Amino acid sequence: MKKQAIQSANPIFATKDGSTIFKKFGYSPAVRAGDFIYVAGQIGLNPDGSMPEDDEGQIVNAFDRLKIVIEEAGASLDDIVELVSYHVGLQRHLARFVEIKSGYIREPFPTWTILEIAGLARPGLVIEIKAVLYAPR
């Protein structure tokens, strides 16, 4: 089985130097391996690269970014079979996360692993979401 890196040209992922966050740190936003697509963790930055001041804004942005990568890979949110979310301050925003998630993830629900962590790559970030999809060609 060959793997295929899925790249993104969406300006939401651009860095100040004109590259993308993926090229800057040397990873792919998604990789297809057979009928599965593995989507890298998506954080909750605004389209201009700034950080929302509230958890809710970050959660919505992270789901929006996840959706962009999934669609660029030729799939949809309905193809998710596994969802993993990493939270800083989980108890502070878990109830709201579940409400927001329900606007993106529908039945039949994927598996979901929820992890509280001490921090993410950029201070102030509170959420990162990754996914595995089953999307036969």
Per-residue pLDDT reduced to its tens digit, 53-105:
999 999 999 999 999 999 999 999 999 999 999 999 999 999 999 999 999 99
pLDDT of residue 19: 85
| pLDDT level of residue 14 (50, 70, 90 thresholds) | confident
Q: How far apart are CA 59 and CA 73, in angstroms?
A: 21
Q: Is the overall model pTM greater than 0.75, yes or no?
A: yes
- pLDDT at position 95 is 98
Classify 39 in phi/psi space as left (phi over 0), alpha (psi -120 to 50) or beta. beta
Q: Cβ contacts of residue 58 below 8 Å, gap of 6+? A: 43, 44, 45, 51, 52, 125, 126, 127
Sign of CA dihedral 80, 39, 74, 47: positive
CB 86 within 8 A of CB 127: yes
Q: Is the model's pLDDT at 1 over the cut of 80?
A: no
